Structure formats: C-alpha cells, structure tokens
C-alpha cells in the first residue's frame, strides 16, 4: 500500500523521518482535503461565468488552493529530513500547484480548448488527492458513507446539469443525465450539447468511476472480512481442540506414572 501511494504521488512523509513531520501531516490532513474540494465550485463557476462576479469568485478559490498547497508543500518539505524522497513521493502536490497557477493565468483564443482540458485534468488531480486522503473509507463499515456521498454528489450534479445544459428541461432530467454520465452508461436520450456541460460531463465520469470503485472495494472488503472472521473462528476452535487433546494426553501419562502430577512435578520418570 505504501509503494502504491508513492507511485501515485500521495506518499506523504517518508518512513523513519522527523516525528514533527508526522505530527504536522496529521494536523493538515483534513484541512487540505477541505481546500482541495474548493476546486469543484471553482470549476463550476468558471464554466458558468462569462466574466463578472462569478469569474472573480472562481479566481479567488483558485488562488486559495494555490496558496494552501504551496504553503503545505513548502512547510512539509522544510520539516522532513529526506527532502529528495519527499518531493519524489509527493509529485501530485506539485502538479496541483502548477494546475492552480495555470488556471489563474487564463488562456483565450485558439488555445482555449487546451486550457479547458488542462483545467479538467487539474480538477481530476485534486480529486485524486482527496480520494488518496480518504483511503480509510475502503472498509466494510464505510459503505453507507460512500453511498451517502454518491447520493449527494448525484443530487448536486443534477442541479448543475439543469443549470448548464439547455436541453435539460427539468431537475429530474438533470438527475438522469448525471446518473447516466457518472455510471458511464450513456443511453443517448439526453446528451450534453454545450462546451460547459460537456466539460462537466467529463468531470462526472471521473467522479463516477471514483465512487463506483470505492463502493466495489468496500463490498469486496466485506467479503474478505467475513473470510477472515471465519478463518479466525476456525483457528480458535483448532486451538481449543488441541488444548483439550494435550490435557487428555497429560492425564493419561500421569495415570501411567510417566510424568508427575501438577502438585508434584519433580516425580517424572523420563
């Protein structure tokens, strides 16, 4: 698991490092999760805005993300002893910093489609960082929370599609489009037609894959946990039977005078 997180750029503090670095990593964990989630409203506001107040709010959110991730990376880099290893195992934070800075610059003209694609990639990287931080959810007890998170995400996404897509005439149609997109079903009865709704659909596919993957992993953890419980019960039963057999064997040896009793252990004839 540690090597897997290192390859994904979410390794955190390297093993056998400064204890203060581990303390601060724990303190900043949920703060950075909350900051990373700001990328979603910033993305929505940028898609819906044509300048004005919404564009400024999106810019402020991107600026907060840039400052928070830059500050966290520099602070943890200063605390860790294995600095080269920390940079190598946390390259995802550097990409998020780069993506936040690029989104603040803004690109117009013929480069605008590429800028939009980079924006989607940047949000996907932030979501990957969030999912890596929520790795404790991959457990049998986490299934209700993941399903609740999926329901909330579906409800909000339906509202966003109803807002962005002109062919969606009702909130129910927005929910249907959000479900078919997130589940990667794509029936084709309702499809995104504008640039904003298509980019949001790309983001919904990424979110849908993530949520479905977590649900699948949690359900698999339930079956694995049941197998472990069964194996543990069988081991305890075998140990009890072994103890009973050893006790019977000791009694037989005592009756034959081969070994002494518990009250007189020095009477052994062996």
Is 126 within a domain?
yes
Both 2 and 121 in one domain: the answer is yes
pLDDT digits (tens, 9 = 90+) for 101-156: 777 776 554 444 555 566 666 666 666 666 666 655 555 566 677 777 788 888 88
Give me the pLDDT at residue 227, please: 64
CA–CA dist 38, 42 (Å, integer): 6
Note whether 126 and 11 are same-domain residues: yes
Domain assignment of residue 144, yes or no: no
pLDDT value at 1 more than 60: no
CB 94, CB 70: distance < 8 Å: no
CA–CA separation, 227 and 101 (whole Å): 48
Is the residue at 75 inside a domain?
yes
**Residue 49 belongs to some domain of the structure:** yes
Q: What is the pLDDT of residue 50?
A: 62
pLDDT at 269 over 50: no
pLDDT of residue 106: 63
The answer to whether residue 183 is domain-embedded is no
* Residue at which a domain ends, from 83, 103, 133: 133
Residue 102 inside a domain? The answer is yes
Is residue 106 domain-resident? yes
Whether residue 10 is found in the same domain as residue 123: yes
Q: Residue holding tokens 């503090």? A: 13
CA 207/CA 212 separation, integer angstroms: 9
Total domains in the chain come to: 2
Contact 55/46 with Cβ under 8 angstroms?
yes
pTM: 0.55
Whether 160 shows a pLDDT value over 50: the answer reads yes
Q: How confident is the model at residue 3 (pLDDT cuts 50, 70, 90)?
A: low
Tell me what the pLDDT averaged over the chain comes to.
Answer: 77
Last residue of a domain, which of 88, 108, 133?
133
Q: Are residues 2 and 126 in the same domain?
A: yes
Instruction: State what percent of residues in the chain have pLDDT above 70.
Output: 73
- Contact between 74 and 86 (Cβ < 8 Å): no
Same domain, 119 and 239: no
Query: Is-contact 155 175, C-beta < 8 A?
Result: yes
User: Residue 18 belongs to what domain range?
Assistant: 1-133
Domain stop point among 133, 165, 191: 133
Residue 138 located in a structural domain:
no
């Amino acid at each position: 698991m540690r090597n897997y997180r290192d390859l994904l750029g979410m390794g955190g503090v390297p093993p056998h490092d400064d204890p203060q670095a581990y303390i601060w990593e724990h303190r900043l964990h949920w703060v950075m999760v909350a900051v990373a989630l700001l990328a979603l409203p910033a993305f929505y506001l940028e898609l819906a805005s044509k300048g004005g107040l919404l564009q400024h709010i999106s810019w402020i959110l991107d600026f907060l993300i840039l400052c928070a991730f830059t500050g966290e990376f520099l602070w943890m880099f200063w605390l860790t002893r294995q600095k080269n290893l920390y940079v190598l195992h946390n390259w995802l934070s550097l990409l998020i910093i780069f993506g936040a800075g690029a989104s603040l610059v803004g690109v117009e003209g013929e480069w605008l489609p590429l800028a939009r694609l980079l924006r989607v990639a940047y949000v996907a990287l932030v979501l990957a960082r969030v999912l890596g931080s929520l790795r404790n959810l991959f457990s049998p007890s986490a299934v209700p929370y993941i399903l609740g998170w999926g329901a909330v995400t579906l409800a909000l996404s339906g509202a966003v599609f109803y807002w962005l897509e002109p062919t969606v005439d009702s909130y129910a149609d927005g929910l249907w489009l959000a479900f078919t997109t997130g589940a990667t079903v794509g029936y084709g009865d309702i499809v995104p037609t504008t640039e904003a709704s298509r980019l949001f659909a790309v983001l919904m596919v990424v979110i849908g894959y993530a949520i479905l993957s977590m649900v699948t992993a949690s359900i698999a953890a339930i079956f694995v946990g049941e197998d472990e419980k069964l194996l543990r019960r069988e081991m305890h039963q075998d140990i009890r039977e072994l103890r009973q057999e050893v006790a019977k064997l000791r009694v037989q040896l005592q009756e034959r005078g081969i070994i002494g009793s518990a009250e007189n252990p020095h009477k052994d004839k062996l």
